[in-house]
Amino acid sequence: MRRKDNGAPDRDSIQIRHKKGLWLRFIKTFFKCRLPFVWLAAHIVLQFGFITLGVDVTDKTAQLFAGDVSVELVSTLILLIIVNIFASSLSLFVSAVTSARINRNMRRSVLKKVLELPLGFFKKENPRDTIYRIVNNSIVVDSTIMLFIIPLVSAVYQMVLIFGRVFKYDWRLSVAMIVFVPIIAFIAFLFGRINFSISDRDAGIHASLTQRLSEMMTNVPLAKAFAKESSEEEKGKSLTSRLYRLTIKSSWFDQLQNLSETAVNLLQAAVMTGIGMLLLNDGTINTRGWVAFFLFSGTFMNAVTDLTLVWGNIKIIQGGADGLVEIMNAESEPKTGEPCERLSGGLKLNDVRFGYVEDVTVLDGVSCEFPENTVTALLGASGCGKTTLANLLTRLYQPQSGSITAGGKDISGFTLDSYRKNFTVVSQNAMLFSGTIRENLLYGNEDATEEQLYDALQRSGAAEFIERLPQGLDTRLEEYGNNLSGGQRQKLAMARALLADTPYLILDEPVASMDAVAVEDIMNILKEQAADRCVIIIAHSPAVLKLAQHVVVLENGRVESEGEASEVRKDSAFVKDFLREKVGE
């Protein structure tokens, strides 16, 4: 890595590089987007027609400049020009519609893919970085087709067409047009690599800036509380300065490429002009041939320039979309298995081992069960693997070894979507979407009646505060439900869980944000719910032990104790210490 004058590494130094396998992964992305083939075909046909008309106009113009001023020629030329204008406008319209359809389909494909990715993917990727890729880089297919494939095909078609026309006048003229093409191609290839590096770095910095701004907007109260406004401003300045420096570097390389190509074009123009004049002077070609060659050579060089721009575009597109390609080619969650309706029976783990990273075990040979029609308390110190175990039960992660069964059947044999519909999870930090309270409540059961809705609100204790809101159930929530208190959000999450009415209910610290009265109410509700379902509560509250009929205690990724609540209270050292600490508080 290059270093700045002060000795610090220059993170934004431009290095000519490429990534192995990028083209293959890039091409695979195309097959994951439903392309509008009819519109694409129409656009290509119009492009070819437009190019053919342009070549005919050039040929007729050369004939006119050579002295043919007949009415027939002038009329034909005017007609071709008019048709060319309309064809150009129609081509632009079709191009816009085609591009819009490709972008729409690609964004749908990316969103669908993101929802199909395993949770482990998001452990490695920053969610806000993923958002940037979806919003800004999802135009990769559109850009590739509209800025690379179609321009490439069109430029090649135009070059072949012009080469054929010039060849009819004299083969030496056609050779003079193509002799410098390899040199221009090499320049395009070299600067294409540079453009890829710049674009790749630019996409990374933009993603970091999006992440920084998103975190800052969400945590403005925290920044103000710690008087960190200046610090946050400096972090933002650092990223914007990096973008500025990268833009300047990109501009310098663009100018260098333009100068290189201009120098080659001038040299080629001089050679072609000299050959044309020699052929004209010795009578090999006539005036019309000379004029046609002069006009066609300019058009030909424009097509060559277009090809170099096309190559530069594809490298820029690849650099900016590399992260999106990673998403689209990432392995999705498995879709195999048999569908299941409402499951019944308890959940059982058999010698389950799991770790988020290699050589770091979170659960080490865990065997335990969560009986049906029972409230089971899952206890243990922070970091012992309680939430991880819950994530395995809902198949957010797959065990590295061992098995999990529901009603005696291995859960890996069910399709994911049908299996997960049997679970409702209420986390410690109640997850709410921006939207109305009603929309959030119906998220798990869109078919719930108004009577069921109000019954769930009454039982969760949320009805009282909702009735005090001006718009009631139609009150709009801010992002993450930030215009409600923690306890209110938790009650809404509980009401949503009651509405879902699934056979398995997992609650992670469900009463952490509630007062003593609310805790007692929730405990009574959960006791009722256990009559026809399996309820698992992850908690550090003694109230849960009073409610639980079955207890599982984890310690360092292993089962320290398991059994009926009364037995575990006597046998588990952790529970004894746990109750002693709570009483001391």
pLDDT reading at 369 higher than 60? yes
Tokens representing 327? 């998403």
Phi, psi angles (nearest 5°) of residue 317: -60, -45
- Which range is least confidently modeled, 5-9, 85-89, 286-290, 493-497? 5-9
Question: 386: buried, middle or exposed (CB in 10 Å: 19+, 13-18, 0-12)?
Answer: buried
User: Each residue of 145-200: pLDDT tens digit?
Assistant: 887 788 888 888 888 888 888 888 777 777 777 777 787 778 777 777 777 777 77
What DSSP string runs through 362-413?
SEEEEEEEE-TTEEEEEEE-TTSSHHHHHHHHTTSS--SEEEEEETTEEGGG
What pLDDT sits at residue 126?
62
pLDDT range class, residue 370, cuts 50, 70, 90: very high
Q: Rounded to an integer, what distance in angstroms lies between the CA atom of residue 215 and that of residue 284?
A: 73
User: E strand or H helix at 192, and its extent?
Assistant: helix 181-218
Backbone region of residue 550 per phi and psi (left: phi > 0; alpha: psi in -120 to 50; beta: other values)? beta
CB 127 within 8 A of CB 210: no
- Distance, CA of 187 to chain centre: 33
pLDDT reading at 227 higher than 80? no
Backbone region of residue 99 per phi and psi (left: phi > 0; alpha: psi in -120 to 50; beta: other values)? alpha
Phi, psi angles (nearest 5°) of residue 408: 90, -5
The model's pTM is 0.65
What is the set of domains in the chain, with CATH numbers? Answer: 22-33+121-328 (1.20.1560.10), 347-584 (3.40.50.300)
pLDDT reading at 15 higher than 60? no
Q: Name the DSSP class of 436.
A: E
Helix, strand, or coil here: 424?
Answer: strand
What pLDDT sits at residue 517?
59
User: Each residue of 422-446: pLDDT tens digit?
Assistant: 998 888 777 788 788 888 888 878 8
Query: Which percentage of the chain shows pLDDT scores above 90?
Result: 10
Q: Identify the CA nearest to 59 among candidates 152, 185, 164, 215.
A: 164
pLDDT reading at 390 higher than 80? yes
pLDDT reading at 585 higher than 60? no
What pLDDT sits at residue 558?
92
Amino acid letter, 479:
E
Backbone region of residue 344 per phi and psi (left: phi > 0; alpha: psi in -120 to 50; beta: other values)? beta
What pLDDT sits at residue 5?
46
User: Each residue of 236-275: pLDDT tens digit?
Assistant: 788 788 888 888 887 888 788 778 877 877 787 777 777 7
Q: Identify the CA nearest to 441 among candidates 483, 488, 484, 494.
A: 494
Query: Contacts by 28-34 with C-beta closer than 8 Å and gap 24+?
Result: 28/325, 28/328, 28/329, 29/140, 29/141, 29/321, 29/324, 29/325, 29/328, 29/329, 30/141, 30/144, 32/109, 32/113, 32/328, 33/102, 33/105, 33/106, 33/109, 33/141, 34/105, 34/109
For the ranges 49-58, 394-403, 466-475, the one whose mean pLDDT is highest: 394-403
Q: Rounded to an integer, what distance in angstroms lies between the CA atom of residue 414 and that of residue 212?
A: 40
Q: Chain-wide mean pLDDT for the chain?
A: 79
User: Each residue of 276-285: pLDDT tens digit?
Assistant: 778 778 777 7
What pLDDT sits at residue 504?
92
In the block, which residue shows the tokens 């709009």? 476
What pLDDT sits at residue 353?
94
Q: Identify the CA nearest to 261 among candidates 309, 198, 194, 315.
A: 309
User: E strand or H helix at 101, and its extent?
Assistant: helix 71-116
Please write down the HEC assignment for all residues of 468-486: CCCCHHHCEECHHHCCCCH
CB 141 within 8 A of CB 102: yes
pLDDT range class, residue 368, cuts 50, 70, 90: very high
What pLDDT sits at residue 242?
82
Tokens representing 28? 């695979």
What DSSP string runs through 499-560?
HH--SEEEEESTTTT--HHHHHHHHHHHHHHTTSSEEEEE---HHHHHH-SEEEEEETTEEE
Tokens representing 490? 């938790």
Buried b (16+ CB within 10 A) or exposed e, 14-51: beeeeeeeeeebbeebeeebebbeebbebbbebbeebb
Read off the pLDDT of each residue in 302-324 and give the average, rounded to a whole number. Answer: 68
List all residues 6 or more positions away from 370 whose beta carbon is below 8 Å from its beta carbon. 346, 347, 348, 376, 393, 534, 536, 550, 552
